[in-house]
Amino acid sequence: MKKRALLILVLAASLLLCACGKSEAAAAADEQIASIGEVTLESEAAIAAAEAAVDALEEKDRESLDNTKLLQTAREEYDRLVEEQRLAEIAAVENAISSIGKVDLNSGDAIAAARSAFDGCDMALRERVSNADVLAASEETYAELMAAQAAEKVTEQINAIGEEVTLESEPAIREARSAYDALDDLAKGKVNTQVLTAAENQLRELKEKERSAVIEKLLNKMKAEEDRFNQVTFYTHTTAPQYDDTRSYIIPYIGRTDSGYTYLCWYCDYTGDDWIFWDTMTFIIDGTKYTKSVGYNAVARDNAWGNVWEVYNTANVSDSDIQLFRSIAASEETEVRFSGKYVYDMTISAKDKQAIADVLALYDAWTEKI
């Protein structure tokens, strides 16, 4: 009977102790709050974790905490430190803006530094910068000054063209135009372009007259053959043979439509007393080798009176083909090998090189943009 009574007393005492003590969760939360220690700007994670632990407790457990006030103080101290840091950032930006001073052409670095400091702040802090309007005004003033300076330099370039425009004025006109085009819209608005435009128009007229004279001179060296059905005229150099069986040669010619579209054509003629069935040309131009393969079926073949001729005639001329023509025309020596089943070698004469140069000059005059 005594043992039974003693057991009941022990259980009652245990229940009383549990009712008066903390739960494990509450004790852990108190310990987590205490572990925050000295509050610094690096304490955010620890404070937030402790707050989360407290929020997770039941109401009776939160009431049993010993460190609730300590947590509140930690949060307030952290918020104070953060605000102190923000005020320091704001002050640094405001000082950077104030240091700009009176804006002149040398203010670029100071304005850039202030803008960098301002943009480096959070949006919320930017709204608290008291002299942000000063930064914006400084940038606007500086842009105006820089635009005026740039516009003045371009205006000087334009005026340097002079009133009398000649063909020799072209470099100065082009440089002035490039300088103007490089300006931003603000600076362009400060430049009077009437002089430049007038000079460009005068130069265009002079170049057109020059081109017309060049074309007229070169046309005297060409034979024209009109194809009325296809509305195109072909221009062949007067030194090019009239008949395919006259001699071997390579001279390009020009096709020009009634609408003014101009293109170059290949004309490569092997003539001899026997077939070589060529499909490839190899050029040695001043020691440099080039190869042009055209294909067997692209070459027309015929014969008469004991002669044979194999002709490649096409309007399919690439930029590299045109460069090849230019290299031949400018060369000291150009050798050509027609090769297929057999080969035939020839050297392009000075007369034919001049013919190629004349054809290219006429092509350039017609296609040049003025």
Is the per-residue pLDDT at 18 higher than 80? no
Report the C-alpha gap between 309 and 268 in whole angstroms.
10
Q: Which 3 state secondary structure label does DSSP give 169?
A: helix
Mean pLDDT of the chain: 92
Q: Look up tokens 């060529």; give the residue.
A: 278
pLDDT in tens, 112-170: 999 999 999 999 999 999 999 999 999 999 999 999 999 999 999 999 999 999 999 99
Q: Which 3 state secondary structure label does DSSP give 280?
A: strand
Report the C-alpha gap between 207 and 312 in whole angstroms.
36
C-beta of residue 144 within 8 angstroms of C-beta of residue 127: no
* Model pLDDT, residue 286: 98
The one-letter amino acid at 368? E
Report the C-alpha gap between 227 and 232 in whole angstroms.
5
C-beta of residue 173 within 8 angstroms of C-beta of residue 137: no
Return left, alpha or beta for 69; rule: phi > 0 is left, psi -120 to 50 is alpha, else beta: alpha
* Model pLDDT, residue 13: 34
| Higher pLDDT, residue 3 or 41 | 41
Residues 6+ apart with CB under 8 A from 38: none
Is the per-residue pLDDT at 87 higher than 80? yes
Q: Look up tokens 């009437």; give the residue.
A: 194
Report the C-alpha gap between 344 and 288 in whole angstroms.
19
- Characterize the bridge pairing of strands 334-339 and 280-285: antiparallel
Return left, alpha or beta for 260; rule: phi > 0 is left, psi -120 to 50 is alpha, else beta: left
* Model pLDDT, residue 261: 96
pLDDT band at 2 (very low <50, low <70, confident <90, very high): very low
* Model pLDDT, residue 19: 39
Q: Look up tokens 């190899």; give the residue.
A: 282
Q: Look up tokens 């017309």; give the residue.
A: 212
C-beta of residue 251 within 8 angstroms of C-beta of residue 311: no
Provide the H-helix boundaries in the chain: 2-20, 24-34, 44-55, 59-63, 68-98, 108-119, 123-126, 132-159, 170-181, 185-188, 194-219, 319-330, 350-367
Stretch 237-259: mean pLDDT, rounded? 96
pLDDT in tens, 158-174: 999 999 999 999 999 99
**DSSP letters spanning 229-245:** TTTEEEEEETTS-SSTT
- Helix H or strand E segment including 22: none
Report the C-alpha gap between 192 and 188 in whole angstroms.
8
Length of the chain: 370
Residue 246: CB atoms within 10 A of its CB come to: 13
* Model pLDDT, residue 6: 34
- C-alpha closest to that of 110 among 100, 121, 95, 124: 100
The one-letter amino acid at 322? I
* Model pLDDT, residue 22: 83
